[in-house]
Amino acid sequence: MNAIYKSEAGASEIRRRYREALHAWPVPSEQVRVPTGEGETFVVASGPKGAPPLLLLHGSGANTTAWWDDVASWSRHFRTYAIDLIGEPGLSASARPPLDSDAHARWLDEVLEGLGIASASVVGVSLGGWVALDYAIRRPERVTRLALLCPGGLGRQKMGVLVKALLLSPFGRWGARRSIRAVVGLEGPEAEPVIDHVVLTFKHFRPRTERLPAFPDEALRRLAAPVLVTVGGRDAMFDSAATARRVRECVPHARVNVLPEVGHAIFGRTEPILAFLRG
């Protein structure tokens, strides 16, 4: 059985639903499979082939559908590459190399080489934000602009919310929904489809539970590319105030947006991020 899933039947169900979503991708696209040392990496490419490249890195427990609301707008101006992170519930390999190493940077090197990309702008959310920031620090010549949403590795990671989620998990669907609301901070009728999707995913998927390594100040100070960081003031996963403070202190040229009433899940930032990416 694949270690990142609780059962083969569950893995098949997640993949089936994902393929259905890919079939309805909101813009014309190509599905690309890139061989790497960590295994095959699945990428959805959209937009004009001659446009500037834009890499999209989703968060934990997600896949390229995280960019559903953004890709139509961004792919009018960029060749977007929505990448399924390895070790997550997409169609990439299930490998989970150690985070406290250069393994993810080497993996992205191979992905970019396979796609024929020398450098690109990058948008990353949560775990994908950590991967994007790690890459920008290790490979500054390959990242032209960096937009991060609730990124890990900057403010303190609040492990207590994971404990709460685990305590609620035995209580079936009710406990699962309470867990998801606590983690992502979503409320209201418009949040119901998102919560349903996440509940179904985590019914079958085993997420990472280790802390994301924190980036030292001296590494952040080396960032030269334009940086945009957006965090939710009510983020239950990361200390967003500390994230904002560290970025402002260590990356003074960065733009930092704190959304006071928003949790870990940040929606509706398509156009502000596009404006930043276009410079």
Q: What is the pLDDT of residues 18-54, one digit of tens each?
A: 999 999 999 999 999 999 999 999 999 999 999 999 9
**Percent over 90 (pLDDT), the chain:** 77
Quick one: pLDDT at residue 177?
A: 52
**What pLDDT, on a 0 to 100 scale, did the predictor assign at position 236?**
86
pLDDT at 117 over 90: yes
> Nearest-CA neighbor of 214 among 103, 132, 99, 64?
99
Looking at the chain, the whole-number percentage of residues with pLDDT higher than 70 is 86
**Contact between 266 and 234 (Cβ < 8 Å):** no
Task: List C-alpha distances in Å: 183 to 62, 68, 163, 186, 187.
Answer: 14, 21, 11, 8, 11
Minimum mean pLDDT among 126-135, 217-226, 264-273: which range?
A: 264-273
| Amino acid 202: pLDDT | 80
What is the tens place of the pLDDT at every residue in 192-244? 566 667 777 888 999 888 899 999 999 999 999 999 999 999 998 899 999 99
Mean pLDDT across the chain, nearest whole number?
Answer: 90
Parse the chain into domains and list their residue ranges. 8-156+212-278
- At 185, which amino acid appears? G
Return the minimum-mean-pLDDT range out of 61-70, 116-125, 146-155, 175-184: 175-184
Residue 188 has pLDDT above 80, yes or no: no
Res. 152: pLDDT tops 80: yes
Give the per-residue pLDDT at 28: 97
Q: What number is the average pLDDT over the span 91-108?
A: 97
> Does 137 have pLDDT greater than 90?
yes
pTM value? 0.91
For domain 8-156+212-278, give its CATH number from 3.40.50.1820, 1.20.1260.10, 3.40.109.10, 1.10.3080.10: 3.40.50.1820
The token pair at 110 is 């191979």
> Which pLDDT band, with edges at 50, 70 and 90, does 115 fall under?
very high
For 77, list phi and psi in degrees, rounded to 5.
Answer: -120, -20
Q: What is the pLDDT of residue 161?
A: 47
Alpha helices in 121-220 (DSSP H): 127-138, 160-168, 172-184, 192-204, 217-220
